[in-house]
Amino acid sequence: MSDAVLAWRHYRLERRMFWRNPTAAFFSFVLPLIFLVLFGSISDDAQLRIIVPGIAGLSIMATTFNALAMQMTFLRDAGVLKRMHGTPLPGRSYLAGVLGSAATNAGVQIVIVVLAGRFAFGLGWPQDWLTLAIFTLLGVSCFAALGVALSYVIPNFEAAPAYTNIIFLPVIFISGVFYDAEKVPTFLHDIANALPLVHVINGLQAALVNGKPLSDLLSDLGVLLLWTAAGVWAAVRGFRWDGRGG
Amino acid sequence: MPSGAPAILVRDLRKRYGDHDAVCGLDFEVAVGEVFGLLGPNGAGKTTTVEILEGYRSRDEGIVSVLGMDPGERPRALRERVGIVLQSCGIYRHVKVREAVAYWAGLYPNPRAVDEVIDIVGLGEKRDALARTLSGGQARRLDLALALVGDPELIFLDEPTTGFDPAARRAAWATVRRLQELGKTVLLTTHYLDEAQALCDRVAIVKDGRMLAEGPPATLGAAASRSRISWTDEDGATQEREVEDPTALLHQLTSGALARGATLRDLTVSRPSLEDVYLELTEDAADDVASTMEATP
C-alpha cells in the first residue's frame, strides 16, 4: 500500500471523526460567522474591507494552528499517537491525513467568508483568485506546521487551551483582524510584522478587496515562507509519541 | 526466517533513565510459537523491556533481535508482522468498533477478515458502538482486535487482563490459547501468577531490571525443590513443615499416628506453586513495602 493511499485513508477517517463530533464541527464553522455578523452589523464599508479579510485570516489560524495544537496534544495524551506508532502506518501518511483535514476546514471557512463578503456585505467577488489560493494555502501550511510544533511544548491536554490562547488572542489583536493593523502602536506593529498572521491577512486583503498585484506582496510571501520552513522543521524534528520522550 | 531461529533474542539488554537503571543486563529468548511471560512486580522493568522490543524506546546497551530485525531501527517490515497491545492507550472517541478494525486492517499487507476478528475478541454485539461508549473490558478487547487484525506472527501483550472481571479474564485467556494453537508467538507481561501459570510455556521472573528465574511454570516450582507437608493435629491446629525430602517425615507422621490410633486429618503434600517461587524470589520487594507501611504513622 503506497504512502499516498494510506494518507488518503487516514484523511477520510479524520473527516469522519470531525463530523461525528457535531459540537466541535458546529463551533469551528459558526464562530467566524458570528464574528462576521457582529462586526458586519456595526461596521461601515471601509471597516468591512478590513474586517472581512481579517476574519478570513483568523479562520485560517483557528482551524489549523489552534485546532492542531489541541488535537495533537489530545491524541498524544490519550495514547492514540503511541498506538499509531506501533502500526506500519508511516508517520508522514498519518500527518498528511491530519493536516489535510485541518486544511479542509480552513478551505471551507474561506468559502464561507467569500460568500458572506459577496452576498451579505456587498464586497463583490474576490479581486484575484490566484492570490487568494496562494495565501490560503501558504497560511494553512504555515499555521498547521506551527500548531503541530506547539503541541510538543504543551505538557498535557488540560493546559492546551491556555497555551493556545495565550498566543492566538494577542496575535489576532495586534495583527489587525478587527481594525487596520497600521493603527496599533509602533512596537506592537513591529512584533506583529515579525509574525505570520499579518502577512496572511495582507495577502487575503489584496485578493478579496483591494486587488493589489502579487508582485507587491513579495515581502509577505517571504516572511510566510520562512515561518512555514521553521514550522515544518520543528514539527518534524520534535515529533514524540508520548509526554516523556524515548 | 530460518527455522530454529528464535522469534525474540535479547542479550545483555540495558536501559537507564537518568540515574535509575530500569533494565540491567537481561538475557532471554522466545522460540517461534511459544507463549512467553515476563512476570514481576510493578517497576521491575517489564514494560521498558517490552517497549524496547516493540520499537518505542531505544536501548543503551545489548543486542535485541525481533523476527530477525532490530526493532530500534523500526523497520516497516517488522511493524507489519507484529501486533501490539499496550498497557494503556486510547483511540479516537468517535470511531465505531467495526470502523476502527477495518481501518487498522487496511494498514497491513495481509489482514484477517474484519468481522472474524471482531467475533474472536467477543465484540460482535458492539460492532456499531462508538469507542467512547465501550466499558473498560470492552475497550481492552478492541485493543486486542486492533493488534490481531494484521494477522501478526508475534503479539506483544502488556498486562492484557489488568482490570478485567473474572469472566473477561477467562475469555482473554481463551483468545491467547487460540493464538497459540494458530502457531503465533506471544510475549506477555503480567503480575498475575495464575495468568502466567495458565498461559505461558515459559516465564521469566524479573525484578529491578534483572532476571531472577526462568523456565516452564511447572519446573520453576520444582526448582525450589522443597515440599510442604500439612495436616490438622488432634487439637484442631494446622501444622505445616517444609522439607527437602518428604519421605522420612511422612513415614514418621503416619507411623506415629497409627501407633496412637489417631488420624492425620487434611494431610497433604504439595510442591511449591509458581506463586510461592515468585513470592520467595521477590521477597525483598515485599519487605520494602512492609517497612514503608510500618514507617507510615
**Sign of the alpha-carbon dihedral angle for A227, A229, A232, A235:** negative
pLDDT over 70 percentage in chain A: 98
Interior CA angle at B207 toward B201 and B208, to 5°? Answer: 145
The answer to whether the Cβ–Cβ distance between B99 and A82 falls below 8 Å is no
Neighboring chain A residues of B107 at a CB cutoff of 8 Å: 1, 6, 87-89
Residue B188 main-chain phi, psi, to 5 deg? -125, 150
**pLDDT at residue B287, as a whole number:** 52
Question: Which amino acid, A187?
Answer: F
pLDDT in tens, B154-174: 999 998 887 777 887 888 898
CA distance linking residue B72 with residue B224, whole number of Å: 37
pLDDT over 90 percentage in chain B: 40
Question: Residue A25 above 80 pLDDT?
Answer: no
> What Å distances lie between residue B237 and A69, B243, B267, B297, CA to CA?
67, 20, 12, 34
CB B243 within 8 A of CB B272: no
The answer to whether the Cβ–Cβ distance between B56 and A241 falls below 8 Å is yes
At residue B54, the 3 state secondary structure works out as: helix
Question: Which amino acid, A30?
Answer: V
Residue from B51, B78, B94 to probe the interface with A (highest A Cβ count within 10 Å): B94
What does the block give as the cell for B210?
A: 534483572
CA distance linking residue A165 with residue A145, whole number of Å: 17
**pLDDT at residue A191, as a whole number:** 87
Question: Residue A245 above 80 pLDDT?
Answer: no
In SS3 terms, chain A reads as: CCHHHHHHHHHHHHHHHHHCCHHHHHHHHHHHHHHHHHHHHHCCHHHHHHHHHHHHHHHHHHHHHHHHHHHHHHHHHCCHHHHHHCCCCCHHHHHHHHHHHHHHHHHHHHHHHHHHHHHCCCCCCCCCHHHHHHHHHHHHHHHHHHHHHHHHHCCCHHHHHHHHHHHHHHHHHHCCCCCCHHHCCHHHHHHHHHCHHHHHHHHHHHHHHHCCCHHHHHHHHHHHHHHHHHHHHHHHHCCCCCCCCC
Residue B94 has its nearest CB partner, among A1, A6, A17, at: A17
At residue B94, the 3 state secondary structure works out as: coil
Q: What is the mean pLDDT of residues A11-37?
A: 83
Residue A13 has its nearest CB partner, among B55, B90, B103, at: B103
Kind plus residue range of the DSSP H or E element containing B152 = none
CB within 8 Å of chain B, chain A residues 3-32: 6, 9, 13, 16-17, 20-21
pLDDT in tens, B33-43: 999 999 888 88
The answer to whether the Cβ–Cβ distance between A88 and B108 falls below 8 Å is yes
CA distance linking residue B102 with residue A58, whole number of Å: 37
Question: Residue B290 above 70 pLDDT?
Answer: no
pLDDT band at B224 (very low <50, low <70, confident <90, very high): low
Q: What is the mean pLDDT of residues A237-246?
A: 66
Chain mean pLDDT for chain A: 87
Question: In terms of C-beta density within 10 A (0-12 exposed, 13-18 middle, 19 or more buried), how is residue A97 classed?
Answer: buried
**pLDDT at residue B293, as a whole number:** 44
- The conformation of residue B208, written as its DSSP 8-state character, comes to T
In this complex, how many residue pairs, one in chain A and one in chain B, have their CB atoms less than 8 Å apart? 67
The answer to whether the Cβ–Cβ distance between B109 and A6 falls below 8 Å is no
The answer to whether the Cβ–Cβ distance between A90 and B76 falls below 8 Å is yes
Neighboring chain B residues of A16 at a CB cutoff of 8 Å: 95, 99
pLDDT band at A243 (very low <50, low <70, confident <90, very high): low
What is the value of pTM for the model shown? Answer: 0.81
Neighboring chain B residues of A90 at a CB cutoff of 8 Å: 76
The answer to whether the Cβ–Cβ distance between A9 and B80 falls below 8 Å is no
- The conformation of residue B133, written as its DSSP 8-state character, comes to G
**pLDDT at residue A164, as a whole number:** 93
Neighboring chain A residues of B153 at a CB cutoff of 8 Å: none
**pLDDT at residue B297, as a whole number:** 41
**pLDDT at residue A246, as a whole number:** 36
pLDDT over 90 percentage in chain A: 45
A6 → chain B, closest CA residue: B107
B71 touches chain A (CB under 8 A): no
- The conformation of residue B69, written as its DSSP 8-state character, comes to B
Chain mean pLDDT for chain B: 85
pLDDT in tens, B227-286: 788 888 878 888 888 787 888 888 888 888 888 888 888 888 877 677 777 777 777 644
The answer to whether the Cβ–Cβ distance between B88 and A79 falls below 8 Å is yes
At residue B125, the 3 state secondary structure works out as: helix
User: What's the distance, Cα to Cα, between the start and end of chain B in Å?
Assistant: 58
CA distance linking residue B113 with residue B101, whole number of Å: 10
Question: Residue B66 above 90 pLDDT?
Answer: yes
Interior CA angle at B190 toward B74 and B213, to 5°? Answer: 95
B60 touches chain A (CB under 8 A): no
Q: Which residues pair with A174 in a beta bridge?
A: none
CB atoms within 10 A of CB B182: 11
CATH H-level, domain B8-219: superfamily: P-loop containing nucleotide triphosphate hydrolases (3.40.50.300)
B144 touches chain A (CB under 8 A): no
pLDDT in tens, A139-189: 999 999 999 999 999 998 999 999 999 999 988 888 878 777 677 788 888
**pLDDT at residue B296, as a whole number:** 42
Domain boundaries, chain B: 8-219, 222-295
CB A201 within 8 A of CB A111: no
Residue from B54, B59, B92, B143 to probe the interface with A (highest A Cβ count within 10 Å): B92
Question: Residue B3 above 80 pLDDT?
Answer: no
The answer to whether the Cβ–Cβ distance between A79 and B99 falls below 8 Å is no
Neighboring chain B residues of A88 at a CB cutoff of 8 Å: 76, 79-80, 107-109, 150
Cα A90 vs. chain centroid, distance in angstroms?
24
Domain boundaries, chain A: 3-237
Neighboring chain B residues of A79 at a CB cutoff of 8 Å: 86, 88-90
CA distance linking residue B161 with residue B177, whole number of Å: 14
Q: How far is B214 from chain A (nearest CA, A)?
A: 28
**pLDDT at residue B294, as a whole number:** 44
**Sign of the alpha-carbon dihedral angle for B106, B107, B111, B112:** negative
Please report, for chain B, how many H helices and E strands are present, in that order: 11, 12
